[in-house]
Structure 1
Amino acid sequence: VGKAVAHFAVPMMLGTSMSVIYSILNAYFLGTLHNTAMLTALALTLPLFAIIMALGNLIGMGSGTFISRLLGEKKYDDVKQVSSFAFYSSLVLGLIVMAVGLPLIDPIVYGLGATPDSFGFTKAYVTIMLIGSPIVVLFFTLENIVRSEG
């Protein structure tokens, strides 16, 4: 049991640590620019990133659980179908987020709470997030699928 816990816990801790380090470094470098509007924009985009991440987890956890059951039943052909469906579904969902989000970017930025000072920076960050959303959704889906293989 100890080996199994270490096998799963270490990669999860590393992934979480990298995310925290990324956020801290991002805030640090923006802070050195002495521009509070940039730091505000960074903070305002976190809810949007959480939503995009949740969409990947939605597909990943559901398919990962199903894949674990199928692996236990030794239905390997079904595993291939489910994992393919999850892969393509997450890409399509990410593309939908991007396609819907980009034309609605101004209302999204205002909805996140951007002030006139931070609007431009927030819009730039949101644009990058929306363009990258297919990759982010896919990443979180695949992370859960890999974990499901035990």
Structure 2
Amino acid sequence: MNRLPYATVARCVSSLSRTGLYQGVDLRVLEAFDLDALAHFSGMQPGALCAGACVASQSSPALALTSANLRWCPACMAEGLHAALFQFSPITRCPTHNAPLIQACPHCGKTIPYRLDPAAVATPLACPTCMSPLVADLTILAHAHHIVGP
């Protein structure tokens, strides 16, 4: 799902009005998304999508254990990957790379809301405050999906 374009993911938001989408969708919570549409566009089964979310609903007690701001492993992000596991506050290091999770923009120091909103279109994989990229080579996403030729 990390590699789906914003516009595609936005079409999969089912429970929000246009106003709600403009204000942003909490990416930690699964209930705002149409799982069948996400499954269609991502090629993943709905069960796998459920397993990849932090919580199913806003009323989940586990939501209190998660960060509302993006937390990421720099090595994973370099491959265009972000795991929902990184959003859980007790997790401080990437289990694959043992790297400390980054919790704010390395350039301006501002936190980045973990939300799907229109600003993501203008600055994909970049800090919405200073526009600094979070990934050195954005073409990695295209290469991973064979969008770019050999």
TM exceeds 0.5?
A: no
Taking structure 1 as the reference length, the TM-score comes to: 0.26
**Greater RCO, 1 or 2 (C-alpha within 8 Å, sep 6+):** 1
- Structure of higher CA gyration radius: 1
Give the structure with the higher percent helix.
Answer: 1
